[in-house]
Amino acid sequence: MVPPVDAVAEVASKGPEISLAAEKVASVFGFPITNSLLTSWLVVLLLVVLGLLIRRKVALVPRGIQNVAESILEFLLNLGDQVTGDRKQTERFFPLVATIFIFIVTANWFGLLPLVGPLEVETVHAGHPVVIPLLRSANADLNTTLALAIIAVVSLQVFGIATIGFFKYAGKFFNFHSPILFFVGILELIGEVAKMISFSFRLFGNVFAGEVLLMVVGSLVAYLAPLPFYGLELFVGFIQALVFSILTLVFLKMATAEAH
């Protein structure tokens, strides 16, 4: 016997609701504020507050939160040295690469907090009231990861031009000395666009998959079963931030190297 439509709808409504796109929770002067954007702002606010607290308590002998911050920065500097082989070059790229790493790993871990997802708000969509999460993992929105990718790839071009000059850098992409070199240059240009796609979809795919996994497991067994998966997502969140930042550093080194 086929169950009534109302019964099926009731059962379906009890399951986890998975949305590929971020949901709009409000708008300011016509600008949509999505739950992932709201989470991004909270992450930025958290990092700003932590930075101000560390700055106020800077001491010659680090303790507490300053010790943790210096350990993170030292880890990133040493890792950067292994990529560039030059401390001066590492220090030059460090503000950009470290900012990308710290934002991504904080956003990934912030998305695992209990208030991200279960905290809901009612809004209107297509003339009907719907209940959506107030907060959503920032990097589970392709808009966020694409913005990070654009920042990274545009920075490559800026550093490349500043280091070897506009015309030499442009010569990597537009070389008219021979048809082969011209074709290779076009491939290099396409490769820059491909970097943005690769950066954004890799981060988005891993974070969104983790969000879906935790939602499904949590809907089946609410307490003990999700714990190992939270541990896995902590690790994945760190690795994805590390991969994004290290790849940015590798591409920065390549962009600032003169062609021979």
- The Cα 80–Cα 110 span in angstroms is 25
Q: In the numeric block, which tokens belong to residue 59?
A: 């001491």
- Single-letter residue type at 66: Q
Report pLDDT for 187: 92
Residue 149: per-residue pLDDT: 96
Six-digit token pair at 5? 């439509």
Query: Residue 201 has what pLDDT?
Result: 95
% residues pLDDT > 90 (the chain): 50
Q: Let me know if 121 is exposed, middle or buried by CB neighbors in 10 A (0-12, 13-18, 19+).
A: middle
Instruction: Find the angle CA(42)-CA(117)-CA(50) to the nearest 5 degrees.
Output: 25
d(CA 145, CA 254): 22
- Reported as a single tens digit per residue, the pLDDT across 184-209 is 889 989 999 999 999 999 999 999 99
pLDDT tens digits for range 83-119: 998 899 999 999 999 999 999 999 999 999 988 877 7
For the entire predicted model, the pTM comes to: 0.87
Looking at residue 85, the DSSP 8-state letter turns out to be S
Counting as low any pLDDT under 50, the low residues of the chain are 1-15, 260
